[in-house]
Structure 1
Amino acid sequence: MSDHTKRSQIKDHKNYLGDKIQNEVINLIGENIKSKILELTKKAKYYSILLDCTPDYSHQEQISVCIRFVNLKSSGISTEEHFLLFCPIDDVSGKGLTKFLLLALEKEGLSINDL
């Protein structure tokens, strides 16, 4: 790593340490993990959702979504809970949260009937 960092100081040397590359790698890894979680959820069929809202430092409401399901592995049965997403939300009323949840489930390809 030390050698890589030293070489990155050389002009016109590709180092892939820039913030754009790092953010792209983080997003790709995150999407891959999310797709694996959704794959396990769909395999389990039935799931539950946990929502939690809290304001951030700038007083913008943020919502976190966790998903829980029973994983039927060859090694045994386990209940699993995974963080799914975190994003800003404007309407934290029951109607607003319902609308958010229905859109999020549709976007991720999860059926409301299995909730």
Structure 2
Amino acid sequence: MSTDAFTVLAEPTRRRILDALRAADRSVNELVDGLGVSQPAVSKHLRVLREAGFVSCRVAARQRIYRLDPGPLRAVDCWLDPYRELWSQHLDALEQHLDSQEQ
């Protein structure tokens, strides 16, 4: 992957594209219609997502159909895991504190 996953995900339109592809594979035109973004902009973002491994595409007749590839998202999820554990510990401590205040 040539681009850092967090750099790719920092762009709101790219996140919206990933959200749309989470529901179903889509053509560029379906993404344009659903997102209300110009075709050149969607194509530019899809290229970045494809180069970073977040999406793949296949040709069907005269259309390119894009599909979400969860691999890079798994890497982000793994990176976030220790932070989830940290938050869980803090939330458990907060819960204990609040429970002690009720008594």
Q: TM-score, with normalisation over the residues of structure 1?
A: 0.25
Structure with bigger helix share is 2
The structure, 1 or 2, with the larger RCO (C-alpha pairs under 8 Å, 6+ apart) is 2
Structure with bigger strand share is 1
Q: TM-score, with normalisation over the residues of structure 2?
A: 0.26
